[in-house]
Chain A
Amino acid sequence: MSNTSQSVQPVLKARGIVKRYGRVTALNYADFDLYPGEVLAVIGDNGAGKSSLIKALSGAVTIDEGSIELDGKPIQFTSPMEAREAGIETVYQNLALSPALSIADNMFMGRELRKKGLMGKYFGALDHKEMQRLARQKLTDLGLMTIQNINQAVETLSGGQRQGVAVARAAAFGSRVVIMDEPTAALGVKESRRVLDLIADVKARGMPIVLISHNMPHVFEVADRIHVHRLGKRLCTIKPDDYSMSDAVAFMTGAKEPPAEDAA
Chain B
Amino acid sequence: MSETPKSSRQKQEFEHALDSSDSNVAQFDHKHRSLFDSVQHFLHGNPTMVPVIVLIFSIIIFGFVAGNKFFSPFNLSLIMQQVSIIGILAAAQSLVILTAGIDLSVGAIMVLMSVIMGQLAVTIGIPAPIAIVIGCIGGICAGGLNGFLVTRIKLPPFIVTLGTWNIFFALNLWLSGAQSIRSQTLDEIAPLLKFFGESIALGGARITYGSILMLVIFAVLWYILNHTSWGRHVYAIGDDKEAAELSGIRTNRTLIMVYCLAGLVCAIGAWASIGRVGSVSPQSFQEANLQSITAVVIGGISLFGGRGSIIGPLIGALIVGVFNSGLRLAGVDVLWQVFAIGWLTIIAVAIDQWIRKVSS
Contacts and interface: CB of A to CB of B under 8 A. Distances in A.
Given A80-B248, A98-B243, A126-B229, A146 B14 contact: no
B9 A200 contact: yes
A226 B110 CA distance: 61
Interface string B1-40: 1011110011110110010010001111100000000000
Interface in A155-208: 155-158, 160-161, 164, 188-191, 193-194, 196, 200
Contacts of B227: 123-126, 128
A146 B15 CA distance: 22
Contacts of B1: 4, 37-38, 224
A250 interface: no
Contacts of A145: 25-28
Residue among A99, A128, A147, A164 with max Cβ neighbours from chain B (10 Å): A99
Nearest to A144: B25
Interface stretch (B68-76, B79-87, B234-242): B234-242
B307 A217 contact: no
Contact of A193 (B18, B244, B249, B307): B18
A112 B242 CA distance: 19
Contact of A148 (B3, B28, B245, B247): B28
B244 A194 contact: no
B244 A98 contact: yes
Given A98-B306, A125-B228, A241-B6, A190 B248 contact: no
A80 B244 CA distance: 10
Contact of B232 (A105, A155, A156, A164): A105
A11 to B, nearest CB: 14
A100 B235 contact: yes
A75 interface: no
B158 to A, nearest CB: 22
Interface string B203-227: 0000000000000000000010001
Contacts of A161: 26, 28
B328 interface: no
A221 B246 contact: no
Interface stretch (A16-24, A26-34, A89-97, A253-261): A89-97
A92 B246 contact: yes
B123 interface: no
A217 B12 contact: yes
Contacts of A92: 246
A157 B28 contact: yes
Given A79-B250, A97-B240, 17 more contacts: A79-B248, A97-B243, A98-B236, A100-B307, A109-B232, A110-B247, A124-B227, A124-B229, A126-B228, A128-B227, A153-B44, A156-B360, A157-B360, A190-B21, A193-B15, A217-B12, A241-B4
Interface of B: 1, 3-6, 9-12, 14-15, 18, 21, 25-29, 41, 44-45, 223, 227-230, 232-233, 235-236, 239-240, 242-250, 306-307, 358-360
